[in-house]
Amino acid sequence: MPPRMLESAEAARRLGVKLPTLYAYVSRGLLRSHPSADRRHSLFVAEEVEALAKRSRGGRTSATRLATVTTAVTRLDDDRGPIYRGRAATELARTTPYEEVAALLWGEPMEARRWEPLALRPPDQLATLDRLRWSVLMAGSADPLRADLRPESVTAVARRLIATMASMVPQDAEEGAGPDGVGGSMAAVVARGLVERPGDEVVRAVDAALVLLADHELATSTVAVRVAASTRADLYDAVLAGLGVLAGPLHGGASQLAWGLLHEAERVGPERALDETLRWQQRLGGFGHTVYTHGDPRYPVLESLFESVASPAQVAMLREVVGLAAARRIPMPNVDLGLAALALATGMPDDAGRTLFAVARVAGWTAHYLEELEERPIRYRARAVYAER
């Protein structure tokens, strides 16, 4: 296998140094740089960077540290957002259906495949996220070949799982999977679950949202999936681990808070809604991001999709909310505000953002799952530092 190569910024990030320091390492002979194919960038062998990182700790590996993840799935670019195997998600969202983007993430040819759900009847009165989790559990228990971890078997499971989860989105059990629930793209199936009789515009917006949410490098839920994969859990169990983390309000809940803010802004006006929210919640859901320091590049894509389906009053309302937040020096909007706005304008329920996230992210989780299967098993086992309290 050819060595895994890191770009300068990634190598510097791994070593915890700035770019000039990285180049100083090269000129001091501590690290070799290699020209890229177009000879315009320097590349570094991942293993050599790792060895240097270890040397700088006096040759010791830190027992308390979790494994370093080197990935070829998604790179996060501060300006362009997530880049899926070299292709910007913000571009793909405009041009490419979710199913093809999933294949891209999995390293498969981007061609039409079968995405067929299992016919399941969920128990009544489960919340949407619980319906999704229930369907993963049931699909796993019905699969006698779930221990087959060959890549082509794993991606076949992923397609069936995503199609099954998509068919679980409807609130009405009667409309779940089954001959009538089948049909159309994943976006069409999910849109039908979230909106009564969605038009083409809404299905297109849902498809774009699924693409934008399909992966986000090492989001906490993805770490959970990788940890599960490192124990060689099957894909069903790994996805359940991801969904468990996604259920945390700090991960999957921000768009619901943002939906509440926008809903209030429609009801009582943006200024009062913002004031009240800040008074009770201190932070505005849907603003700020741990990775993107000058704005989440996924937001403008969702904002323009929102504008294609929203009323002029809603468009004005969102602009005012964003303007008021900027005037108060609140960080820029993130993907969750875009999801919330889209949900509000199309009449989707307040937790629609999380539902879209959960279905979409199975594509990324599967890509990371496959990558983790190539790594040393149980590599995330760390040691704690014990201190009595």
**Nearest 10 degrees: Cα torsion 370, 91, 339, 133:** -20
Which positions from 304 through 333 interact with ligand ACO, judged by CB under 6 A?
Answer: 330-331
Alpha carbons within 13 A on the beta-carbon side of 361: 28
Which among 289, 296, 351, 368 is annotated as catalytic?
A: 289
Residue 139 vs 254, nearer CB to ligand ACO: 254
**AA letter at 18:** K
215 is a catalytic site residue: no
DSSP string, 256-313: HHHHHHHHHHHHH-HHHHHHHHHHHHSS-TTB--SS-TT--THHHHHHHHHHHHS-HH
Residue 198 vs 353, nearer CB to ligand ACO: 353
Token match 């699924």: residue?
210
Binding-residue total with ligand ACO (CB under 6 A): 13
To ligand ACO, the closest distance from the beta carbon of 19 in angstroms equals 22
Which residue of this chain has its Cβ atom nearest to ligand ACO in the complex? 288
Q: Mark 282-301 with x for binding to ligand ACO (rule: CB under 6 A) and - for no binding.
A: -xxxxxxxx-----------
- State both tokens at 362: 């199975």
To ligand ACO, the closest distance from the beta carbon of 267 in angstroms equals 20
Residue 97 vs 285, nearer CB to ligand ACO: 285
Which among 234, 237, 336, 351 is annotated as catalytic?
A: 336
Neighbouring CB atoms inside 10 A of 363's CB total 27
Residue 177 vs 257, nearer CB to ligand ACO: 257
Residue 222 vs 230, nearer CB to ligand ACO: 222
To ligand ACO, the closest distance from the beta carbon of 6 in angstroms equals 23
Give the rounded distance of the alpha carbon of 369 from its chain centre: 14
Which positions from 237 through 256 interact with ligand ACO, judged by CB under 6 A?
Answer: 254
Site for ligand ACO contains 270 (CB under 6 A): no
Neighbouring CB atoms inside 10 A of 278's CB total 15
263 is a catalytic site residue: no
**Residue among 145, 135, 118 nearest 243 (CA):** 135
Which positions from 335 through 374 interact with ligand ACO, judged by CB under 6 A?
Answer: 336
Residue 283 vs 294, nearer CB to ligand ACO: 283
DSSP string, 305-343: HHHHHS-HHHHHHHHHHHHHHHHTTPPPB-HHHHHHHHH
To ligand ACO, the closest distance from the beta carbon of 331 in angstroms equals 5
Q: How far apart are CA 293 and CA 228, in angstroms?
A: 30
To ligand ACO, the closest distance from the beta carbon of 249 in angstroms equals 9
Active site residues: 289, 336
Residues that bind ligand ACO (CB under 6 A): 254, 283-290, 330-331, 334, 336
